Amino acid sequence: MDSIDRAILGVLRVDARIANVDLAERVGLTPAPCLRRVRRLEDEGVITGYRATIDPAVEGRAFEVLVNVDLVSKHRDVFLAFEEQVSAFEEVVELRRMFGLPDYFMRVATRDLEAYESFMTERLGRATGLAKIDSHLTMKTIK
């Protein structure tokens, strides 16, 4: 991967719907070689897909909470059961198993505070192996 490939990726990261002609102009290529590079990046698995970013408020998921979770045990059966169960919750938009503490980091998106409280008490709070849940509300998103 060279500097032109990195430039292509940088532009696509910001605007994946950019026309190839415009992309080529932005990275200093003519359209045909630019398109070949994009196709090669896709074929090599560097570009793994394209997606739309949806306004969370339109979907009724504008209230986002960062959640740290610790489990009662590090036993394989416990964490696999927890992951399977929690991954299925539509409110959980990101779930990461961490080294050290916390055991898990999650991003949870709901309609509002009341919906989050219901999710916590009725769904997440009943998940297998829970020891501790810490919720963090964002004051301001900077980046």
Could you report the per-residue pLDDT of 82-103, keeping only the tens digit for each? 999 999 999 999 999 999 999 9
User: For position 96, what pLDDT does the model report?
Assistant: 98
| CA 99/CA 65 separation, integer angstroms | 21
| CA 5/CA 86 separation, integer angstroms | 37
pLDDT tier for residue 64 given thresholds of 50, 70 and 90: very high
- Which residues is 95 bridged to in the sheet? 106
Average pLDDT of 9-36?
A: 96
Could you report the per-residue pLDDT of 100-138, keeping only the tens digit for each? 999 999 999 999 999 999 999 999 999 999 999 999 999
Q: Is the pTM of this model over 0.85?
A: no
